[in-house]
Structure 1
Amino acid sequence: AIQNWPWPTQKKQVRAFLGVVGYYRRFIPHFATRASPLTDLVKARGPDMVKWTEAAEGAFTDLRTALCNDPVLIAPDFNKEFILQTDASEVGLGAVLSQMVGEEEHLILYLSRKLLPREQKYAVVERECLAVKWAMETLRYYLLGRRFTLVTDHAPLQWM
C-alpha cells in the first residue's frame, strides 16, 4: 500500500503521508534528514496546493522505498552493554542504538530529528554535542544505570 501511495497534491495529503511514515521513523535511518524536504513543503505559507521540488520528490520516493524494505532490528538484551552512535548534520540529529551479539553488531533502533532554525546556527561541535545530549535523554530508559559505549565521529568530543 505504501509503495502505491499517490503523489500528494495538497499540504493536507503531505501531512498525512508524513504521519504514516513518521509512525515508523525508528525503523528508518536518518528519518528527519530524509523527510526534511517534505516537512519544508507543509511549513511554507501560501496556497494549500503543493509545489513539488526535486528534493521533495526524491524524499517522497525515498521514504516510500525505505518503508517497504525489511528492517533488521533486534530486541534489546538488558544484560549486555549498549553501543550508542550519534551524529549531527546541518539539517538534523541522528542516533543508532545497537549491541554486540557474538562478533556482530546488531541494530536495536534508529532515532532522528530535524534541527530547529536556531540550532542550525550552532557551531559543528555544539551540534555534535547536542546530538549526544538529545540521544542520551531520549534513550534514558535504555541507558540509565547501564554501561554503554558512546561512538561519535567528532574527535573533540572524546575529551569530554
Structure 2
Amino acid sequence: MKSFLGFASYYRNHIKHFATVVFEITKERRDSYERIKHEVTNAPVLILPDFELRFELCLDSACSQGLGAPLHQRPIVDGEPREGVICYISRQLKD
C-alpha cells in the first residue's frame, strides 16, 4: 500500500479531496484506499490518445518486485498543456 500511495500522490491534483482521505488499514480506511484507486484509474485522469501528440512513458522502478509505467500525453486544455494518463502498465519481476 505504501508504494501505491506514493504512486497515487503523483496524481493528487487530479483527485478531488485527495488530502482528506486517510491511509491506515481499517475497514473505513481500506474503503478510502479503494476510492483513491478507482479515481486514479478512471476519468478525468484517464484520457483517450491523440495520435497527433507525443506519447510519454514514465517508468517507475523504485520497487525491486516490479515495474510500473503510466503512458501519458499532454493535451492543451484551456490554453495550457495538461498531463493526462492514457493507460497504466505494470509487470512483476522474477529472480
Category of TM-score, reference length = shorter chain: 0.3 to 0.5
TM-score by length of 2: 0.46
TM-score, scaled relative to structure 1: 0.31
